[in-house]
Amino acid sequence: MTFTIVIPARYASTRLPGKPLLDIAGKPMLQHTWERAKSSEATRVVIATDDDRIFSAAQAFGAEVVMTSETHESGSDRICEVVNALGLGDSEIVINVQGDEPLLPAEAINAVASVLGEPNEYGISTLCEIIEDEMEYIQPSSVKVVMDANGRALYFSRAPIPAGTTLPQPCFRHIGVYAYRVGVLRKFVSWPVAELEKVERLEQLRALYNGVPIHVSLAPTRIPPGIDTQADLDAVRKFLS
């Protein structure tokens, strides 16, 4: 199995300006994420950005980096520009790893890629883990997913699903690491934003709305949270120190 990882990285961030370049244990956050990606089974790891500062920093720590358009509205659009620039074929596999995931285990990347490495109906694969905390179940920032018996995604929501007055079991949190068949990604970015996507603010609902089967695997190891806030950043700095 061969696959390419693309790490989209934007300088602008409402909560943490310049987030990809914030220092963690002597390295930019983005470098930690890139090193995790490089330790996976990927044949190629590319950073995609629209910012000169990120471009220069990525080159300085040895990454392959591609400058992309400033007009992209999502990471998927940016990744599609990169796969087109790299000349990847429709049957190839590309993984979207967010730049603010400095603790993402390589095993998780390999797991999401392995699903598409087999002949099957799926155009996208992703991961989940069991929710054990009731506060996480009710928080909109925690995206929930429900699947059928074969792991095919039925729906993603910021609302508590499946519904219950207490934490239902099983109940799963979606982990935002995606593997795409390149041909599916090219179709995905050509489709208009779906109404469900607008309501939930979840891009993957565009794929479900257009009939793309998404496979959801249970993560092979505990996935540390990404960095969205100063508190998240402080916690990761403390952990890596």
Lookup: tokens for 60: 């300085």
Give yes or no on whether 1-102 and 119-174+185-223 have one common fold.
yes
Cα 52–Cα 25–Cα 38 angle in degrees, nearest 5: 65
Contact 87, 44 (CB under 8 A): no
Nearest to 82 by CA among 61, 101, 63, 100: 63
Lookup: tokens for 144: 């929930």
> How far, CA to CA in Å, does 159 sit from each of 59, 144, 169, 202?
41, 7, 16, 12
User: Mind listing the pLDDT tens digit for each residue in 132-159?
Assistant: 999 989 999 899 999 999 999 999 999 9
**Mean local confidence (pLDDT), 207-216:** 98
For domain 1-102, give its CATH number from 3.40.50.150, 3.30.420.40, 3.30.70.140, 3.90.550.10.
Answer: 3.90.550.10
Q: Does residue 12 have a pLDDT over 80?
A: no
pLDDT at position 225, please? Answer: 78
User: Mind listing the pLDDT tens digit for each residue in 170-196?
Assistant: 899 999 899 999 999 999 999 999 999
Contact 137, 145 (CB under 8 A): no
Of residues 13 and 194, more confidently modeled: 194
User: Mind listing the pLDDT tens digit for each residue in 76-93?
Assistant: 999 999 999 999 999 999
Q: Does residue 165 have a pLDDT over 80?
A: no
For domain 119-174+185-223, give its CATH number from 3.20.20.70, 2.40.50.100, 3.90.550.10, 3.90.1150.10.
Answer: 3.90.550.10
Instruction: Using a pLDDT cut of 90, give the percent of the chain over it.
Output: 75
Residue 153: beta bridge partners? 147
d(CA 137, CA 145): 11
User: Mind listing the pLDDT tens digit for each residue in 26-75?
Assistant: 999 999 999 999 999 999 999 999 999 999 999 999 999 999 988 888 88
Maximum average pLDDT range among 7-11, 176-180, 230-234: 176-180
**Mean local confidence (pLDDT), 116-132:** 95
> Mean of the per-residue pLDDT values for the chain?
93
Cβ burial of 139 (10 Å; 0-12, 13-18, 19+) is middle
Q: Where are the domains of the chain?
A: 1-102, 119-174+185-223
